Amino acid sequence: MLRLADDIVISIGPGVPIRLRASLRAAIRLERIGFSRLASAIVEGNVTLIKAIIVEGAEDDPSDLLDELDFGPLGKTLRSLQEPLLRFLLILSGVDPDESQRPPQATPAITAKPFSLAKHYRRLYGACIVTFHWTPDQVLDATLAELDVALNAHIHALTVAEALSKELPPPAHPDDQDLQQLYHLEPTVDPVTGMDVEFDRAGLHALKAKLGA
């Protein structure tokens, strides 16, 4: 399956780095806790919720490495985790971390219904199951960026196919001449006599002569 650069790598003490994957599964589970609550927990150094983020996002079981949070230099470790974990939450919530750091531009006020991430995740899950016939685990293991690219590519292909179908005339049923050109067939009927060119006329005349004798 397609894989895009949506991973965040963190390090807890001198241990092996932990790779956090912004999968749909992680997004669904952490959204239930609340991204705003989790962001506050990261800034405040809430070890319990920070561990929850890491456990849900880690590709491999990080249990042994998370012990470093309990026995290592806690303050320094938590400060080093703030930036990558906040970036991870932004990706899960559908926000480009780099875009979020740019100065905001003035835009007209827009009145709209609140956007539900939970509903968005459910629709994304259902769309990929139905469209690509992936298994539930394949969809949940994919990152949000991977699912977005796959769906956009599918929509683009459908759009192109529809445009081509409107521009091209409907295919006509091939006549004998078309089939001859397509399959490189030689004509079997003499256009003058209307007889099969492969028929043995000499043999036919000889047979008639014998019968008339």
pLDDT digits (tens, 9 = 90+) for 99-155: 655 555 544 444 555 678 999 999 999 999 999 999 999 999 999 999 988 998 888
SS3 173: coil
Number of domains in the chain: 2
Tell me the percentage of the chain whose pLDDT exceeds 90. Answer: 42
Supply φ then ψ for residue 23, to 5 degrees.
-80, 165
**Do 128 and 164 share a domain, yes or no?**
yes
| Cβ contact 84:21 at 8 Å | no
Question: What pLDDT, on the 0 to 100 scale, is given for residue 212?
Answer: 54
Q: Does a structural domain hold residue 36?
A: yes
pLDDT digits over 50-96, tens only?
999 999 999 988 887 887 676 566 788 889 999 999 999 999 998 88
**Tokens linked to 10:** 């963190």
11 vs 77: CA distance, rounded Å: 9
Tell me the percentage of the chain whose pLDDT exceeds 70. Answer: 64
Residues in the chain: 213
In the block, tokens 């949000």 appear at 144
Residues 6+ apart with CB under 8 A from 14: none
Question: What pLDDT, on the 0 to 100 scale, is given for residue 67?
Answer: 74
- Residue 180 reports pLDDT greater than 60: no
Q: Does a structural domain hold residue 108?
A: no
- Residue 201 reports pLDDT greater than 70: no
Least confident of 24-28, 44-48, 69-73, 82-86: 69-73
**Do 153 and 49 share a domain, yes or no?**
yes
Q: Does a structural domain hold residue 55?
A: yes
Average pLDDT in the chain = 77
Q: Does a structural domain hold residue 103?
A: no
Whether the full predicted model's pTM is greater than 0.85, yes or no, is no
Q: Does a structural domain hold residue 75?
A: yes
- Residue 174 reports pLDDT greater than 60: no
**Do 2 and 43 share a domain, yes or no?**
yes
35 vs 92: CA distance, rounded Å: 9
**Do 182 and 156 share a domain, yes or no?**
no
Q: Does a structural domain hold residue 106?
A: no
**Do 88 and 35 share a domain, yes or no?**
yes
Q: Does a structural domain hold residue 164?
A: yes
**Do 38 and 134 share a domain, yes or no?**
yes
- Residue 186 reports pLDDT greater than 90: no
**Do 156 and 185 share a domain, yes or no?**
no
**Do 25 and 43 share a domain, yes or no?**
yes
Q: Does a structural domain hold residue 56?
A: yes
Name the residue range of residue 145's domain. Answer: 1-98+116-171
**Tokens linked to 50:** 């920070």
Looking at the chain, list the stretches that DSSP marks H as alpha helix, in order from N- to C-terminal side. 24-33, 35-44, 47-57, 63-71, 74-92, 97-100, 117-132, 136-141, 144-167, 176-183, 201-212
Sign of CA dihedral 40, 57, 28, 22: positive
- Residue 190 reports pLDDT greater than 80: no
